[in-house]
Amino acid sequence: MAPKIPTDADFTSLEPNLHLAISFPSPPESTTTFLILFHGFGDNESSFINFARAMNLPSVTAIAVRGPSVLPPSLLPDPSSSANHFHWGDDVNIDPSTGDIDADPGFERAKTKVLDTLIRGLLITKLGWEMDDIILFGFGQGGSFALGLAAAIANPPRLQEIKEEEDPRTFKGWLKGVVSIGGPLPLSMVSTLSARKKSNSRVLLVQVTGDDVEATEREFESVKRVKWHRSGVDMPRKREEMLPIMAFLAEALSPQHSFGR
């Protein structure tokens, strides 16, 4: 059976559990792929849906997700603006000796909302799409969350742990691709099984270096790495910074690179 094309009503039905910004291709019926975007620490979904619109990927419905947790006002220059700043972690942990924010605070709450509700519940079970119809794109903490979701999908619960009313099909497969700008793989989201398999989801790491690259390569079969001429982690500013990202997405969207059903 062919998958159903989603409508605005399908996505608004997830509120207030999930807050999403949606951009459909023209026409919406041309949808073949979903690009799910995760903003960085302290940001929100608005700028990322605009980023998706600017990329204008053909036949792609973009879904920008708001992080499930509000950033504590104490971490903002202007505490009155806290309503517009969100994060993906289960908590915000700060190292008292350095003042650095823990890059892996646990992501169980966000994982439940995005993987179980949006991906498995809506896109796969209700609308009939597959895991390999989905690309994840994240920046900073959102990039870490994207990588963690892909790792979790590769090693789902054992069949005997799946509830009777759940469709085992929703626990199988791999993603069309994952892009992380500056976000390392969070080990809290990696299976602890010694016999776990590597994910077939293709990964692009941007501005990720050293041990963080090696940790990703241990969990994924195909990992590409892009390092810009400038240091630091930021969204792409120049054409030459965006080109390798667009090339990766074009390859992922290409029919000859499809995993198939």
Convert the pLDDT of each residue in 108-137 to its tens digit: 999 999 999 999 999 999 999 999 999 999
Model pLDDT for residues 183-234, shown as the tens digit of each residue:
999 999 998 887 788 999 999 999 999 999 999 999 999 999 999 988 888 8
Quick one: which of 173, 159, 162, 166 has its CA closest to 129? 173
Average model confidence (pLDDT) across the chain: 90
Residues 123 and 195: their CA atoms lie apart, in Å, by 29
- The pLDDT of 247-259, averaged and rounded, is 83
Residue 18 has pLDDT above 90, yes or no: yes
Are 44 and 85 in contact, with CB atoms under 8 Å apart? yes
Q: What percent of the chain has pLDDT over 70?
A: 89
DSSP assignments along the chain, one per residue: -PPPPP-HHHHHTTTTT--EEEE--SSGGG--EEEEEE--TTB-HHHHHHHHHHH--TTEEEEEE--SEEPPGGGSSSGGGGGG-EE-SSS--B-TTT-PBPS-S--HHHHIIIIIIIIIIIIIIIT---GGGEEEEEETHHHHHHHHHHHHHHS---GGGS-TTS-GGGG----SEEEEES-PPPGGGS---TTPPPB-S-EEEES--THHHHHHHHHBS-EEEE--SS-S-----SHHHHHHHHHHHHHHH-GGG----
Q: What is the pLDDT of residue 24?
A: 98
Q: What is the pLDDT of residue 245?
A: 98
Cβ-defined contacts of 215-220 (< 8 Å, 24+): 215/184, 215/185, 215/187, 216/147, 216/184, 216/185, 219/151, 219/154, 219/185, 219/190, 220/150, 220/151, 220/154
Residue 84 has pLDDT above 90, yes or no: no
Quick one: which of 147, 155, 135, 145 has its CA closest to 113? 145
Q: Which of 5-19, 43-57, 97-111 has the lowest mean pLDDT?
A: 97-111
Query: Side by side, which strands form the sheet with 223-226?
Result: 20-23, 60-65, 33-38, 134-139, 177-181, 203-206, 223-226
pTM of the model: 0.91
**Neighbour count for residue 133 (Cβ, 10 Å):** 22
More confident: 80 or 261: 80
Residue 168 has pLDDT above 80, yes or no: no
Q: What is the pLDDT of residue 215?
A: 96
Q: What is the pLDDT of residue 80?
A: 64
Q: What is the pLDDT of residue 260?
A: 44
Q: What is the pLDDT of residue 261?
A: 42
Are 187 and 106 in contact, with CB atoms under 8 Å apart? no
Q: Which of 22-36, 70-84, 128-142 has the lowest mean pLDDT?
A: 70-84
**Neighbour count for residue 220 (Cβ, 10 Å):** 22
The confidence band for 97, taking pLDDT boundaries of 50, 70 and 90, is confident
Which CATH number describes the domain made up of 8-156+166-253? Answer: 3.40.50.1820
More confident: 206 or 97: 206
Q: What is the pLDDT of residue 108?
A: 96
- The pLDDT of 60-64, averaged and rounded, is 99
Residue 171 has pLDDT above 90, yes or no: no
